[in-house]
C-alpha cells in the first residue's frame, strides 16, 4: 500500500468518526428538547389524562411560591387549551369534559351527548339539529373496545361532571342516579372517588330512587369494594371500586386534619396505575383534582393552592411511571378557569412593585383549614363574637367590625358564608385578587410528558383526538359501533316506562334495560360491549351494534 492510500484511509476514518459523534450529540439534543426524553420510536400504549378542575396559570405561580420550589408541572408546560362550549364562550365542567372525552363540544350541563340546537353560538355556522342529545363515544369507551384497561379517579363524587363525562351519556349533569348506574355498567377496571349515597337505595340510607343497590351489582360483577385508605393500599389485583365518602371526599388540607382514613389523590393515582398497568394491552386513566374549582368559586386561596399542590403530587406519580414505562403519554390541563385569580390586586396594602414573597405566603401559612371547613366550624351563630373567634382560630386573622359587616352584607345579598369570608379576607389580608365567583373564559395551560407530546395552542376537543390517535382508534368508527338509534333499524319497538325509575326497551320478546349493558332473552342474559341510552328530549333510544347483531340472531325482523 502506498502512503497516499494509507493517509486517505486515515482521513476517511476520521471523517466517519466525527460524523458518528455528531450524530450522537444531535440525537441527544433532539431527545432533550423536542419531545421530553422521547424519540419517535416510542409508541404510546397508555394515556393518563389529568385535570385540575377550574384553574389557570396564576394558580401554578401561586403554588410554586407556596411550595418554595419548582412543581412537577413546571417542567411539562407545552402550550394552551381553548375552552369554550357550544352555547357560551365560558364553559361549564360538563361541556368541557365532553369536549376532551369525545372530541366534540356540547351545551352547558350536558355529559357526552350532542348539543341542543336552540342556542348554539353563531361561530359554529349550523345548529346541529340531527345530532342533538345523541350519545357521543368517549376515549374511555374506545380504549375499552380496544381491550385496554380503563380507570377514573376523582376527589368529588365519582358521578360528578368530569369523571362522569367519560363513562355516561346524559343531558343533565345532576342526574346522579342515572349517571352512577351507567358508570357501573361501563365495566371500568378501577374507579376511586366519593359518592357512596348514589350506589345505595333510599331504604339502605342512600339516594337511589330506583330501589337498586349498585354496590351489590359491583360485587356480583367481581369487584372489590374499598372504603378506606388502608384497604386500597393493600389491594394488588383485580377490578376495584373505591367509595371513600357518602358525598365528596375531603379537601386535601382538611383530609390531613380530620379524615386521615381517606387516601390522597397521589395515593389513588399510584394504585390506579399499578392495577391498570397489569393489562398487557395498555390502559386509559383520567385523574381529577376535583375541588380546585370549588375553591375558585369560593375565592378561597388556601383550599385552591393546597388542592393544586396535591394534584401536582399526583402528576409526579404519573410522570415517574411514564418515565420508566416509556409508552405512556401524560396530558394535564384544567377544563376551564374559575374565580379569575390574580397575584396582586387593586388595593393591596403594599405597592405591587414592592411585594415580597412573605406578603403572598404568610397569610396562607396561617390558614389551617379550607373556607368550607371554616363555615362548618362557625355553624349557625353568625354573631361578630363567634365569627371573629373562629376566623382567628382557624385562619389566624383578627377581623375588624368593618370586615364583619362586609361579610354580612355579602351574605344578605345571597352569597354563602364561606364565599363571603373568602372574598373579604382575600381582599383585606392577602395580595391575591379575584374577579368572579364563577368560571372565566381564558385559555388554560397545557402540560404534557411522554412520546409525541403535543406542543402549541389546542382546542379542548383536540385532546380527545390526540388521545385517540395515540392509542390507535377512530372515534367516528367507535360512535358507529356503540350508538345506533333503534328506530333506524327496527320498526317494532317500545319503551316500557311502567316502572318509571327503571325504563326498559322492548323489541319483540327481548328486553334491554335503559342505562345498562344488558340484553335479556327469556332466561338468557347477554352482556353488551356498550350501554343502552335513552334521550328523553328526542325520545330516541340508542343501542350498541353488539345488541343489533344479537337481536338479529334471535330472528327479529327490521
Ligand atoms: Zn365550577
Q: What is the pLDDT of residues 475-514, one digit of tens each?
A: 999 999 999 999 999 999 999 999 999 999 999 999 999 9
Tell me the helix, strand and coil percentages in the chain, rounded to 5: 45, 20, 40
Residue 93 is among the residues annotated as catalytic for this protein? yes
- What pLDDT does 38 receive? 67
pLDDT at position 42 is 76
Distance CA 123, CA 382 (A): 48
Is 129 in a helix, a strand, or coil? helix
Question: Which stretches of 165-286 are DSSP H helices?
Answer: 176-184, 214-220, 229-234, 252-258, 265-276
| 433 φ/ψ angles, rounded to the nearest 5 degrees | -105, 160
- Decide if 304 contacts 292 (C-beta within 8 A): yes
Ligand 1 centroid to 53 CA: how many Å?
Answer: 7
Active-site hit among 35, 56, 58, 93: 93
At residue 22, the pLDDT reads 64
Ligand 1 mean position, distance from CA 481 (Å): 33
pLDDT at residue 32, as a whole number: 45
The confidence score (pLDDT) of residue 383 equals 97
- Cα(54) to ligand 1 centroid in Å equals 6
Distance 297 CA to ligand 1 centre (A): 7
From ligand 1's centre to the CA of 538, what distance in Å? 28
Residues of the chain with pLDDT under 70: 1-5, 14-15, 19-41
Question: What pLDDT score was predicted for residue 269?
Answer: 98
Residue 14: strand, helix, or coil: helix
The pLDDT of residue 168: 98
Per-residue pLDDT at 126: 81
Distance 49 CA to ligand 1 centre (A): 19
> What is the pTM assigned to this prediction?
0.92
Amino acid at each position: 500500500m502506498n502512503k497516499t492510500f494509507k493517509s486517505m484511509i486515515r482521513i476517511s476514518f476520521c471523517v466517519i468518526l466525527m460524523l458518528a459523534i455528531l450524530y450522537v450529540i444531535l440525537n441527544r439534543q433532539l431527545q432533550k428538547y423536542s419531545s421530553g426524553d422521547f424519540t419517535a420510536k416510542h409508541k404510546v400504549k397508555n394515556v393518563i389524562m389529568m385535570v385540575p378542575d377550574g384553574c389557570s396559570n396564576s394558580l401554578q405561580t401561586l403554588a410554586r411560591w407556596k411550595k418554595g420550589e419548582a412543581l412537577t408541572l413546571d417542567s411539562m408546560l407545552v402550550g394552551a387549551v381553548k375552552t369554550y362550549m357550544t352555547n357560551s364562550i365560558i364553559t361549564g365542567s360538563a361541556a368541557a369534559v365532553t369536549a376532551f372525552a369525545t372530541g366534540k363540544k356540547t351545551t352547558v350541563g350536558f355529559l357526552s351527548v350532542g348539543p341542543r340546537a336552540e342556542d348554539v353560538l353563531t361561530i359554529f355556522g349550523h345548529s346541529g339539529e340531527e345530532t342533538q342529545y345523541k350519545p357521543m363515544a368517549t376515549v374511555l369507551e374506545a380504549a375499552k373496545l380496544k381491550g385496554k384497561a380503563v380507570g377514573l379517579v376523582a376527589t368529588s363524587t365519582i358521578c360528578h361532571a368530569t369523571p362522569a363525562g367519560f363513562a355516561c351519556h346524559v343531558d343533565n349533569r345532576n342526574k346522579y342516579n342515572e349517571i352512577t348506574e351507567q358508570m357501573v355498567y361501563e365495566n371500568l377496571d378501577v374507579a376511586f372517588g366519593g359518592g357512596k349515597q348514589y350506589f345505595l337505595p333510599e331504604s339502605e340510607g342512600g339516594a337511589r330512587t330506583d330501589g337498586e343497590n349498585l354496590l351489590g351489582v359491583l360485587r356480583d360483577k367481581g369487584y372489590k369494594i374499598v372504603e378506606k385508605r388502608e384497604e386500597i393500599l393493600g389491594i394488588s389485583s383485580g377490578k376495584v371500586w373505591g367509595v371513600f365518602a357518602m358525598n365528596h371526599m375531603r379537601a386535601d388540607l382538611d383530609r390531613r386534619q380530620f379524615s386521615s382514613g381517606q387516601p390522597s389523590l397521589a395515593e389513588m393515582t399510584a394504585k390506579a396505575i399499578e392495577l391498570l398497568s397489569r393489562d398487557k394491552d395498555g390502559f386509559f386513566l383520567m385523574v381529577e383534582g376535583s375541588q380546585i374549582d370549588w375553591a375558585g368559586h369560593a375565592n378561597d386561596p388556601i383550599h385552591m393552592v393546597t388542592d393544586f399542590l396535591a394534584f401536582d403530587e399526583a402528576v409526579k406519580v404519573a410522570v415517574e411511571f411514564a418515565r420508566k414505562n416509556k409508552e405512556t403519554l401524560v396530558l394535564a390541563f384544567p377544563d376551564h378557569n374559575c374565580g379569575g385569580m390574580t397575584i396582586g390586586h387593586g388595593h393591596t396594602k403594599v405597592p405591587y412593585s414592592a411585594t415580597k414573597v412573605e406578603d403572598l405566603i404568610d397569610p396562607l401559612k396561617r390558614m389551617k383549614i379550607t373556607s368550607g371547613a371554616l363555615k362548618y366550624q362557625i355553624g349557625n351563630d353568625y354573631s361578630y363574637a363567634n365569627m371573629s373567634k373562629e376566623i382567628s382560630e382557624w385562619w389566624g386573622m383578627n377581623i375588624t367590625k368593618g370586615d364583619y359587616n362586609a361579610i354580612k352584607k355579602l351574605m344578605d345579598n345571597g352569597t354563602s358564608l364561606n364565599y363571603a369570608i373568602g372574598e373579604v379576607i382575600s381582599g383585606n389580608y392577602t395580595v391575591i385578587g379575584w374577579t368572579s365567583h364563577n368560571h372565566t373564559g381564558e385559555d388554560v395551560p397545557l402540560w404534557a410528558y411522554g412520546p409525541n407530546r403535543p406542543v402549541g395552542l389546542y382546542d379542548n376537543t383536540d385532546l380527545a383526538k390526540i388521545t385517540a390517535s395515540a392509542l390507535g382508534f377512530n372515534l367516528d368508527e367507535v360512535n358507529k359501533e356503540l350508538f345506533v338509534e333503534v328506530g333506524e333499524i327496527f320498526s317494532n319497538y317500545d319503551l316500557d316506562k311502567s316502572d318509571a325509575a327503571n325504563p326498559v326497551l322492548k323489541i319483540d320478546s327481548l328486553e334491554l334495560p335503559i342505562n345498562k349493558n344488558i340484553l335479556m332473552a327469556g332466561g338468557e342474559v347477554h352482556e353488551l360491549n356498550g350501554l343502552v341510552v335513552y334521550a328523553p328530549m328526542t325520545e330516541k333510544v340508542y343501542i350498541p351494534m353488539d345488541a343489533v347483531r344479537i337481536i338479529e340472531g334471535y330472528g327479529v325482523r327490521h
